[in-house]
Structure 1
Amino acid sequence: MNLETLINKYYDQLNDNDLHVISYVSQNIELCKDKTVTEIAKNCNVSPSTIIRTTKKIGFDGYSEFRYFIKEEADRIRDAKVSHNQSFHSSVLLKDVQETIKLFEGDKNLQEIYKLFLKSKNIFAYGTGYGQNLMLKEFSRCLLNHNIFLNIIPSKTELELISQAITPNDLLIVASLSGKTGSIDAMLKNIVVKKVPTISVTVFSRNELAYLANYNLYYQVTHLNKVNQLNNSSYCTLNLVLSLLYEGFTNYLNERESAVK
């Protein structure tokens, strides 16, 4: 099990400090593998006890066991780069980007989605994993340029609460890689039954989430990395489709404004 998998597994139990610590370690794993808990704490600007609590939340007995894990993780990543040459080339990413753009431009429901952004009383967004959540946060930041507030749902607990209070006057966006609904299936079905407009953002495939949603946005993913079972370009193309959505919405607003003048 790699660090990214652990983040997704225990995501609902992690607070902002935990995510900050794990994100730092994940991005600097070669540097962190020989660091003491005090050194990691100093680099993250948190206390050593916070680091220890975080490691326990993701299934370790304490920092010593976690340190051993990240040493193995660093070695595994280094070996993977040598043996597989990262199993990835720029041509693969380029293909994913081109296909994602093609999928977006071929979507016939974009105007309806843009209208929902304007008329919905509340707009909520839920990412099924850590990376998806980060991409939605960036999308949320962009929408603020148009005075539209996107409520990011941080965990399944909050999604369950919102599923009880959300109304047909609201809008829900759910971003996922696989499109599998899993443990949130009942909540999503409850939302759909209430006739709440729902937008799925998933990899291009037949999937449960896309089937439930009223509108589907897709991004292209070519293959999974053999070492960590994650796609090298999935976050890139997810970010791309959300960026295209924002730019399309911006153009839509500009055209409406021009039509009024």
Structure 2
Amino acid sequence: MKHNNNKLKNKSIRQVAAACFVSTTTFLRFVRKIGFSGYSEFSTVIKYTVLNSTEKSETAVNFVEKQEQYRNEYLKNIEETVRVLDNRKLLEICQQLDKQPKIYFYAKGFSKYAAEYVEYLYTLNNFIIIFPKNYEQRKLAYRNISKNDIIFVFDYAGEDSELIQIIQRLKSSTQYASLVSITGANNNTIQNMSDENLYIFTDELKIDTVDMTSHVSLIAIMELLLYQYFEYKKDKLGK
């Protein structure tokens, strides 16, 4: 897979299609059929998925010696997260936010602390936020969700069994709400269960068994969504 990824690097869709002995139209149709908005998004996701899996399989390096390299990758991950944001998805979410729904946040681990900042930010802007922060609260909170509400699920791996069970219960309900997930770019269960998925790029990092994976990209998406909502409201009033 890494070998094929190197072949994709810096290649245009026309070059890749020719290497596969198909037309650019056929190749683009394939890319869209498997869930990507276009070739740019496809090539970016493939590159970062392979890079992350390769880094996990290699021997850990001394973090102090690699700080400059990590800083470069850190900025690149944020840049790529913002670059591939789907404007159509953002607009659809903004339209739902404009109906002033209750907003539910589901997050665990380090994602929970990033979500606490987002909770504060959205609450300041007059949204009603429900953020169950422990197992018992999460187990009960979904019972009060109505079909007009929005649920945000933050889980980088997209495979948390508890969150998946909650989503399954929600989807089986007649009061099923809109579900937006923010996960990694890899194909995962929570992403596939969501109405809309926004994905982030980040390098998973552990130092002395402590998970230090950055959640800045998650915060960036939620901030940009809020800014997009402000623009949506401004444009709506101007019409």
Q: 1:189 offset after TM fit, Å?
A: 0.4
Q: 1:110 offset after TM fit, Å?
A: 1.3
Instruction: Tell me the secondary structure at the aligned position of residue 240 of structure 1.
Output: helix
Preserved contact between residue 102 and residue 127 of structure 2 (Cα < 8 Å): no
Provide the identity percentage.
Answer: 18
Deviation string, structure 1 residues 57-104 (Cα, Å, up to 9, x no partner): xxxxxxxxxxxxxxxxxxxxxx9545x545853210121011101121
Q: Which residue of 1 aligns with 2:48?
A: none
Preserved contact between residue 179 and residue 203 of structure 1 (Cα < 8 Å): yes
TM-score, structure 2 normalization: 0.66
Q: Which residue of 2 aligns with 1:205?
A: 186
Kindly tell me: are residues 204 and 146 of structure 1, through their superposed partners in 2, closer, same or farther at Cα, counting changes over 3 Å?
Answer: same
Preserved contact between residue 100 and residue 127 of structure 2 (Cα < 8 Å): no
Instruction: Tell me the secondary structure at the aligned position of residue 109 of structure 1.
Output: helix
Preserved contact between residue 175 and residue 202 of structure 1 (Cα < 8 Å): yes
Q: Distance in 2 between matches of 1:183 and 1:148?
A: 26
Preserved contact between residue 224 and residue 230 of structure 1 (Cα < 8 Å): yes
Select the residue among 43, 63, 84 that pairs with 1:103. 84
Q: Distance in 2 between matches of 1:132 and 1:249?
A: 23
Q: Which residue of 2 aligns with 1:155?
A: 134
> Residue type of the partner of 1:115?
Q
Q: Which residue of 1 aligns with 2:159?
A: 180
Q: Structure 2: 5+ residue runs without aligned partners?
A: 1-60
Q: How many residues align?
A: 177
> Residue type of the partner of 1:118?
D
Q: Which residue of 1 aligns with 2:224?
A: 244
Select the residue among 102, 114, 122 that pairs with 2:94. 114
Preserved contact between residue 119 and residue 129 of structure 2 (Cα < 8 Å): yes
TM-score, structure 1 normalization: 0.61
Q: Which residue of 2 aligns with 1:11?
A: none
Of 133-142 and 204-213, the range deviating more from structure 2: 133-142
Q: Is 1:146–2:125 an aligned residue pair? A: yes
Select the residue among 197, 209, 223 that pairs with 1:216. 197
Q: Distance in 2 between matches of 1:185 and 1:95?
A: 30
Provide the alpha-carbon RMSD of the alignment. 2.4
Q: 1:117 offset after TM fit, Å?
A: 1.5
> Residue type of the partner of 1:123?
I
Query: What are the equivalent positions in structure 2 for 1:18-97 lying under 5 Å apart?
Result: 80-82=62-64, 84-86=65-67, 88-97=69-78
Kindly tell me: are residues 145 and 250 of structure 1, through their superposed partners in 2, closer, same or farther at Cα, counting changes over 3 Å?
Answer: farther
> Residue type of the partner of 2:159?
K
Q: Structure 1: 5+ residue runs without aligned partners?
A: 1-78
> Residue type of the partner of 1:252?
Y
Deviation string, structure 1 residues 21-45 (Cα, Å, up to 9, x no partner): xxxxxxxxxxxxxxxxxxxxxxxxx
